[in-house]
Amino acid sequence: MSWDFLNNKTILITGGTGSFGQKCVRTLLEKTDAKKIIIFSRDELKQMHMQNDLSDPGIRLRFFIGDVRDTERLKMAFRGVDYVIHAAALKQVPALEYNPLEAIKTNIIGTQNVIEAALECGVKRLVFVSTDKAANPANLYGATKLCAERLIISSNSYSGDNGTLFAAVRYGNVFGSRGSLVKIIEEQRISGEVTLTHEEMTRFWITLDEGVGLVLMALEKTKGGEIFIPKIPSMRVKDFIQVLAPECQLKIVGIRPGEKLHEILITPEEARHTKEYDGYYVILPEYDWWTQQEHFIDGKSLEEGFVLDSHKNKQQLDAEELKRLLRTL
């Protein structure tokens, strides 16, 4: 993939000190000629660690302390920015069930603040990083991400002919990210026992590199209003654990509140206006303002009743492929 479109551009990443943000920044530094890369986040300690960890930040990196709840701070940060990647969010499902208003303030209202700042500051393109939990959500986190997706997509109606193009990406569990299953298993295996909620539970899996690649592809290809979905494999959580901790006993603890047995990336309703490409799908808007259909005529329409869920996904991850992926972390 060529990322020449990023040459001499200024890119800002909200939540830039998270797992995705750190990988994205490294990719931009190593593989693009971006003019400036701005990390926008609220944790100055993480920013300091990130700045120290980068071997050669040069003069292209900027660190901006701020919260997506603060519209004025966002507007100040967005001045002169060409592209925004909106990855800031509260994500821990159990914590958000007990602190629902905090999730709403950051994930929903914070996203609206990002949209308003992008429109006012003349940002050219913005890509929102969503999750499979936004499709038919079963918990508050998924519901806030669904709301944020809808805000992002509908915001294209306010852009005008030459305004900001807004799009989203949606993907599943990320190997090795902060708080991921890999990290939890590593911590639990010390005791010789790993917890499992249900023996048949399945999840989608993606690497950080693949996630970054999807976001940058969406940033390049968007015409405003799409949700980009990667073609990624699924695997039973039980099998996943047995590869990482084969010596451990499994303790079945039952499905937790707000947790699904299987996740969904494309619902049957969305499939009716989705196009398929070699490595990804594109969910197209259904709004009257969207007039970019001619850009997706080469995509394949999906059959009636199609659903992309982790249980029936044709791409299944086997033990050997999982071991190969883990060696790359």
Catalytic residues: 133
Tokens of 38: 């701005």
d(CA 132, CA 102): 21
The SS3 assignment for 163 reads coil
Token pair for 107:
């994930």
As beta bridge partners, residue 206 has 174
Instruction: At 174, give phi and psi (nearest 5°).
Output: -105, 125
How many other β-carbons are positioned within 10 Å of the β-carbon of residue 289?
12
Beta pairing class for 83-86 and 249-252:
unpaired
Q: What is the DSSP string of 178-212?
A: TT-HHHHHHHHGGGTEEEES-TT-EEEEE-HHHHH
Instruction: With CA atoms as reference, report the closest residue to 61 among 45, 43, 40.
Output: 40
Per the document, the length of the chain is 329
Name the residue with tokens 């509908």: 154
Distance separating alpha carbons of residues 152 and 227, to the nearest angstrom: 10
Rounded Cα distance, 129 and 101, in Å: 21
How far is residue 311's CA from residue 113's CA, in Å, rounded to a whole number?
Answer: 36
Dist CA 155 CA 210 (whole Å) = 27
Do 82 and 123 form a contact (C-beta atoms < 8 A)? yes
In DSSP terms, 36 is beta-bridged to 10
